Amino acid sequence: MSGALKEVRNRIKSVQSTQQITKAMKMVSAAKLRRAQDAIIQMRPYANKLQEMLSNIVSNTEGELGGTLATERHVDRVLLIVITSDRGLAGAYNANIIKAAKAVIAEKYASQAAAGNVAIWNIGKKGYESMLKSNYKVDATFKDIFLDLRFETVQACAQAAVKAFEEKQFDLVEVVYSEFKNAATQRFVVERFLPIPKVKPAAKAKKSDFIFEPNKEELIAELMPKILNTQLYKAVLDANASEHGARMTAMDKASENANELLRSLKISYNRARQAAITTELTEIVSGAAALQG
Amino acid sequence: MNLEILTPERKLYSGDVYGVQLPGVDGLFEVLEKHAPMVSALKPGKLKVLKDKGQSDIAVFLIQGGFVEVFHNKVTVLVEGAVPS
């Protein structure tokens, strides 16, 4: 009888220590999430200004601008940049991104995939490990960006993609990542990276006699890569915030589940204890009765 | 005039200054009060912030190329990387 009691006590202990871990992880994720959100906010003025500058130049120009980075080509070879996290225990976060990436290949690029012309660059270890098992061309050069998340490392990845596009290794580049909405919800998006979508002149552009130096065409040629760097950086930051948000939610749920489990375990523990006491009492009473008898 | 230096990672500088020296792709130039509206590309080099007229209070940043926009006495410098020196 006391064996059952001990068993339940051990289970309670193990659930309690698991809960301690999930609670701690939740707290750590909350702190990291705050930092990740902060980075997004810090980047916003730069990104907005850059975009404003571009539409400003376009508004002050007649005719089309763009160059090679904006020229649509027939899509033979596709590159997907898939951003996942380095670590698990974030609910369905990584699984969902991988699923979204595979879905987009199956829907939009089935023929290219059949010809073996879909390449994948993974950012984040989890996606890399999972994609290795599939038969796409997987490149791990930029897998470790999250180990040291700085603008320069992301910039290197964006520039490599631009270079590959210019050299016609790929005709289309898309980024698959999770956009950060709030801690509980992520939106999985597939975003066009290259060729750059046509820029429309801003409605409320500053109409003024700007001096452009060196000239508009060269300025735009300089601006485009910078905008791409920023776009990828934003995607990586969003993915980072999403990861911590997802982990925080997952760990919160796990702690709640542990609570539930503890409650039912405590009930069975008390029941077992009461049963043991009752048996003991019965034994004593019947023993005493036998002596008197 | 008002000067802002922005990088993707943070706002590096913000405040009222007397002028600013920038490494333009076509050569070094200086922007002072009431400069005409302008957009220019910058090459890697030194960016000098002249905080007052006497040129005694100067902040120098080493930048990695970027852009500057001057509009209505507001100067915005966008650079991808910069370190104070």
Task: Using DSSP, state whether A161 is helix, strand or coil.
Answer: helix
Q: Which residues of B touch A159 (CB under 8 A)?
A: none
Q: Which amino acid is located at A50 in the chain?
A: L
Mean pLDDT by 10 residues, chain A (293 residues): 82 96 96 94 90 80 68 88 92 92 92 89 91 83 87 92 92 93 87 82 66 83 88 94 94 96 95 92 94 83
For B51, the 3-state DSSP assignment is coil
Q: How far is CA A164 from CA A111, A145, A161, in A?
A: 21, 19, 5
Domains defined along chain A, listed by start: 59-246 (3.40.1380.10)
Q: Which residues of A touch B6 (CB under 8 A)?
A: 45-46, 49
Q: Which of B4, B10, B35, B72 is the best residue to mutate to test the A interface, defined by the most A CB atoms within 10 Å of its own CB? A: B10
In tens, the pLDDT along A204-240 reads 666 667 888 888 888 888 888 888 999 999 999 999 9
Measured CA distances, A211 to A57, A219, B70 (Å): 10, 11, 9
B63, B82 Cβ separation under 8 angstroms: yes
Closest chain B residue by Cα to residue A212? B39
Minimum distance, in Å, between the CA of residue A151 and any CA atom of chain B: 7
Residue A5 has phi, psi (to 5 degrees) of -60, -45
- Residues in chain B closer than 8 A to A151 (CB atoms): 7-9, 80-81
Is residue B6 exposed (0-12), middle (13-18) or buried (19+ Cβ within 10 Å)? buried
pLDDT score at B57: 83
Q: How far is A184 from chain B (nearest CA, A)?
A: 25
Domains and CATH numbers, chain B: 2-84 (2.60.15.10)
Q: What is the pLDDT of residues A87-124, one digit of tens each?
A: 989 989 999 999 999 999 999 998 888 888 899 999 99
pLDDT of residue A141: 82
Whether A35 and chain B come into contact, CB under 8 Å, resolves to: no
Please state, in angstroms and rounded to a whole number, the distance separating the CA atoms of residues A110 and B54.
Answer: 67
Q: List CB contacts (< 8 A) between A218 and chain B.
A: 41
Per DSSP bridges, beta strands A78-83 and A172-180 are: parallel
- Cβ under 8 Å to B: A residues 71-130: none
Residues of A in contact with B38 (CB under 8 A): 210-213
DSSP annotation of A68: G
